Structure 1
Amino acid sequence: MAMATALRHAAMRLGGGGGAWAKLLPRRLVHVGARPAAADGKTRALNLIKQKREELFDLIADTERRYDTRLTREGFRNTRMLQQLAVQIKPRPNDPLWRSKRFSKLANDYLGLTGACVAGYTLTKKWLHSDKEAAEEKMPDPHV
């Protein structure tokens, strides 16, 4: 124990002492975060976010209707954004654009999940089959 203490003090003297590190490191390493806001402020902020989503959907939809941006990079991005927003805003059953974007988003999600499952099944089956073939090659034929 005394040896460890002596080594610690020697290292502090050689390293310039503990004072240099104390100035670089904060005294408290625990981050407590911001104080919680009032509940009415939270609901107001969430309602504002919902309103901005609705406005953004309307703005992008209006831009897509007025200008032909289908085959541009921004057009693809806007279409993707409309799909994302269509599932997040209030339902608009009378709006054909909302219905088509919502359907395409849900179809894309479903097809993506289906593709991942089929690919996983196929690769797993191939991997298991290759192990079976390798085991059959190692085993001698009992009929010979």
Structure 2
Amino acid sequence: MHGLGSSAKRLSYVKALTRCMAHTRPRRVRYAALRVVSEAREELASMTNSDSASLDVDTTLLDGLSHALLTVVRTNHDQKMQDSTSDAYSAAIPNDHYLRLIFALQKNDEWCKRLASGGHLEWCNSSSLILASPQFSDKVYLAGFV
């Protein structure tokens, strides 16, 4: 499935994806949910609680998604630190999805504020996400984010 589905089911789908990104879920489930959200990043960036086309979107849902996104990459980082035998390529894939998603979301003023207050800026600045992604072709991808 591409995108976030039909408008009638979009909210329940986003809620389900958010639950799938919880730290208690298996790694492959968290990564799959992150990939789906990342692939729908442009659609997600347009989902705001001030957008007239998405009046049914509430702040709690979007804040929960923001928190879940950070949970996925922090959990991924912690697991990489504990598991020195992990494959560097497959460990970098969630970071790439995350960075592409964050870059797309920050273009929307409302999402940019949400990301800043949610700790995403600090995480991107303090972590080695960019340098740890060998297949990430544009190492200055977040230049527009700061």
For the criterion TM > 0.5, the same-fold answer is no
TM-score category by the smaller chain?
Answer: 0.3 to 0.5
The higher radius of gyration belongs to: 1
TM-score w.r.t. the length of structure 1 is 0.38
More helix by share: 1
